[in-house]
Chain A
Amino acid sequence: MKQSIAKKPGKYTTIPGRKIGKNNLLLKLQDGKYLLLMVLPAVVFYILFKYVPMWGVLISFQRYSPFKGFWGSPWVGLQQFEIFFSSPFWWRSVRNTLLLSLYSTFWSFPAPILFALILNDVKNYKFKKLAQTISYMPHFLSTVVVVGLFYMFLSPNTGPVQKLIVAMGGTKSDLFAQAKYFRTLFISSGIWQSTGWGAIIYLAALTNIDPTLYESATIDGANKFQQLIYITIPSIIPTIVIMLLLRLGHILGVGFEKAFLLQNDANHDTSDVLETLVYRTGIAGGNYSYGTAIGLMTSVVNLCLLFIFNGISRKISETSLW
Chain B
Amino acid sequence: MVTSKKITVWSVIRTLFLIFIIVSILYPFLYMISISLSSNHHVIKNDITFYPKGLQFDVYKIILSNNKLFIAYKNTINYTVVGTAISLFFTSIAAYALSKKNRLPFYGFINTLIVASMFFSGGMIPAYLTVVNMLGLYDNIWAVVIPSCIGTSNLIIMRTFFSQFPAEIEESGRIDGLNDIGVLWYLVLPTSTAILATMGLFYAVGQWNAFFTPLIYLKSQDKYPLQIILRQIVLRGQMEETAILYSAGGNIIPEDSVKYATIVVAIAPIIAVYPWLQKYFVKGVMIGSLKG
Residues of chain A whose beta carbon lies under 8 Å from any beta carbon of chain B: 1, 3-6, 8, 10-12, 20, 25, 28-29, 31-39, 41-43, 45-57, 59, 66, 69, 115, 118-119, 121-123, 127, 130-131, 133-138, 140-145, 147-149, 151-153, 155, 158, 160, 163, 192, 195-196, 200-201, 204, 214, 218, 224, 242, 249, 256-257, 261, 275, 278-279, 282-283, 288, 291-292, 295-296, 298-299, 303, 306
Contacts and interface: CB of A to CB of B under 8 A. Distances in A.
Contacts of B131: 49
Given A41-B90, A49-B131, A134-B22, A122 B124 contact: no
Interface string B33-51: 0000000000000100100
Given A54-B121, A121-B14, A278-B125, A38 B230 contact: no
9 contacts: A38-B97, A38-B184, A39-B97, A46-B114, A66-B133, A163-B46, A200-B286, A275-B124, A292-B123
A261 B103 contact: no
Contacts of B3: 224
A242 B288 CA distance: 14
B243 interface: no
Contact of B123 (A39, A52, A118, A295): A295
Contact of A3 (B32, B91, B155, B167): B167
Contact of A278 (B100, B124, B285, B289): B124
A268 B113 CA distance: 38
Contact of B274 (A12, A33, A137, A152): A137
Residue among A38, A59, A123, A261 facing the most chain B CB atoms (10 A cut-off)? A38
Contacts of B93: 38-39, 41-42
Contacts of A160: 31, 49
A221 B4 CA distance: 16
Nearest to B231: A144
B247 interface: no
Contacts of B18: 118-119, 122, 127, 131
Contacts of B252: none
A36 B125 contact: no
B5 to A, nearest CB: 9
A115 B21 CA distance: 10
A49 B124 CA distance: 11
Interface string B138-156: 0000000011011000010
Interface in B126-184: 126-131, 133-135, 146-147, 149-150, 155, 167, 171, 174-175, 179-181, 184
Contacts of B210: 142
How extensive is the interface on chain B, given as a class? 35 or more
Given A149-B28, A303-B119, 11 more contacts: A29-B105, A32-B100, A34-B179, A52-B130, A134-B21, A135-B21, A141-B267, A148-B234, A148-B263, A149-B32, A278-B123
B280 interface: no
A303 B123 CA distance: 13
B94 interface: yes
Contacts of B276: none
Given A36-B106, A135-B25, A158-B46, A48 B135 contact: yes
Residue among A31, A43, A56, A118 facing the most chain B CB atoms (10 A cut-off)? A56
Nearest to A298: B123
Given A25-B105, A42-B94, A49 B230 contact: no
Contact of A49 (B25, B104, B119, B147): B147
B126 A53 contact: yes
Contacts of B119: 249, 303, 306
Contacts of A153: 28, 31
A159 B241 CA distance: 24
Nearest to B292: A242
B55 interface: no
B120 A204 contact: no
Contacts of A299: 120-123
B130 A32 contact: no
Nearest to B91: A42
A137 B134 CA distance: 39
Contacts of B68: none
A33 B124 CA distance: 35
Interface in B48-103: 49, 90-91, 93-94, 96-98, 100-103
B130 A143 contact: no
